[in-house]
Structure 1
């Protein structure tokens, strides 16, 4: 009888703070730009697997090659803990060999274990062709690249556009982290550049790509740049069944909306529990100490765990008001923090 009773018992419906260490987690958006193993060693202590994300920054293919090489090094040193998303550059966009070069590069990355491809906000906001026109993500020249990514069974990860705060003056932004970022990076602050595309235009171009490629698996980095309103994000998830989003560097917007309407945000996470991937944008370039890195991990990973698994009243430097944790069901937490990443990126569980 006692054996039967034990076998019929169900796991608790909710996690607690004490479960943090023992539950497998997966951060799908980190940037490791060093060969030292410190970040990965600390992630193991937190029971967090990683997806390292490459991108084109300001140096074209040099950025892409260097960032992917760091990710490959970390993956080979800890294959069960680090997976890789590669990237490509558009710095040589008008070179007749650009397409063949890009496809060959992506194949070499896939053969080395890359699970996806990142496109960054330079497309649409920074990079230009030789005539001076902004390169846009819905340009037909990208079509064979996206088709190839799909044919290889990989994921396109897109950081396209920026948070909507980017088009507001600093004092009107809803989160402190955005205010700090654009204060430090006025070159990306679109409010200061009224001749640049609007948020709506950039999102519209991204949406046209998804309309044209309905079978392409797409992960919208940073909540798909629709972080300001879960209702707007829900519309895109309804419209594009192969779209998911990660939460990297957008928890401030989640907290802000939670402070305004907790039940709406909670219902969003429950309704779209299969389409949300946990990510942070944490990084290591080899300069910070073990203590500094671990503090950054605890500040993000443990804060977010508390937010999702408890109903505690919380405060964060990201916003100026308190908010209450979502207290999500265990199965939702498992999906957001781990299972969805395995599914969308095709990771080995």
Structure 2
């Protein structure tokens, strides 16, 4: 080999090496600029779980949220299985004051003394105090419409005129109202027609709560109509439909709701299984729904920390739930979940959609700077 050939070979090798390095850098740059998050991005992305219940004076929930880069909204609820409302709020105030960048809270009110003429003014004073202490929203629960009865033993529905002063007051203050009306649509169906296994198991074991067996109670349609009547009466209300506004069974029904009420948002709390059941049948339709309404959906779980829960076990279950939801919304992995028969495929939503659903929408809706 003469000097010229050796020099030429060296130049060619240099060109090849430079090209390979350039291609490698180009591929790395493309990966870094990917339009989608992966499982490895989970801890680094800011996230917000907008529907939890921190009902224990403990830091386990906070610690896990901080480890997984979450902020939380703990919601007080007029629910008999939870601590009394005043105790829920005391825990919320204590934790939000100690961890003001991690935890926020939503207040609620009791229906006790409903028939007293001073009920509405007393509730307003209570809520004003909670708002002054930092409450970001007010929750109204399904007891209104499903269990609470007035002095004449009539169910009080969410569109009852007696609630108008409260909703007018909150609308004037621009305070968001988180509404849980009715139950999943499955509650009004025969067991064999229910869309997810956890509903089948629950209502089979608790027939007293299975509305299909209680035709004397308001129908599903009556519950949704009352909720919509209430929103029609208060068009300036900032409303969050908890649990996908109890329309979890159909992305078409959710679309109609969001079209009818352009200022409303919905949260995903405890309804991911119903969404996954739909995506098993039509993945593209469900994915398109999330993309179309990316500004109107809030990530939420309904995770509850109670006095019975061991802290480390609770932290593990929280982390696992958050990871499972991240996989479904961010990747196209195939997996199984106990709620749904068959293989579930992830939606692999774009980064910009994820950032809104998981974080930016919550900060906007709850006016968190």
Q: What's the TM-score once normalised by structure 2's chain length?
A: 0.89
RMSD: 1.9
Matched, 1:199 2:220: yes
Whole-Å Cα distance in 1 between the matches of residues 118 and 141 of structure 2? Answer: 21
Q: Looking at CA atoms only, which structure, 1 or 2, has the larger radius of gyration? A: 2
Q: Are residues 1:30 and 2:61 paired?
A: no
Shift in alpha-carbon separation, 1:184–1:296, aligned structure 2, 3 A: farther
Contact 2:60 2:312 in 1 (8 A): no
Instruction: Report the equivalent of 2:187.
Output: 166
SS of the residue 1:315 aligns to: strand
CA distance in 2, matches of 1:158, 1:71: 19
Unpaired runs of at least 5, structure 2: 1-25
Query: Structure 1 unaligned runs (5+)?
Result: none
Shift of 1:72: 1.4
- Residue 52 in structure 1 maps to residue 99 in structure 2: no
Distance 1:242 1:126, change over 3 A: same
**1:147-186 to 2 correspondences below 5 Å:** 147-186=168-207
Q: 1:320 aligned to 2:341?
A: yes
Written as runs of structure 1 = structure 2, the 5 A alignment for 1:12-27 is: 12-27=34-49
- Residue pair 1:91, 1:127 contacting (<8 A) in 2 also: no
Runs of 4+ in 1 over 6 A off after TM superposition: none
* Pair 1:285–1:184, CA change in 2 (3 A): farther
Q: 1:130 aligns to what?
A: 151
Q: TM-score, normalised by structure 1?
A: 0.94
Report whether the alignment pairs 1:256 with 2:277. yes
Q: Structure 1: how far apart are the matches of 2:202 and 2:278? A: 20
My pick for the range that moved more, 210-219 or 244-253, is 210-219
Q: CA deviation at 1:244?
A: 0.4
> How many residue pairs align between the two structures?
342
When structure 1 is superposed on structure 2, of 318-327 and 293-302 the one drifting more is 293-302
8 Å contact from structure 2 (residues 73, 104) kept in 1: yes
SS at match of 2:253: helix
What is the distance in 1 between the residues matched to 2:145 and 2:269? 20
Q: In the aligned structure 1, how far is the partner of 2:201 from the partner of 2:317?
A: 17
The equivalent residue for 2:362 is 341
The answer (yes or no) to whether the contact 2:142–2:181 under 8 Å persists in 1 is: yes
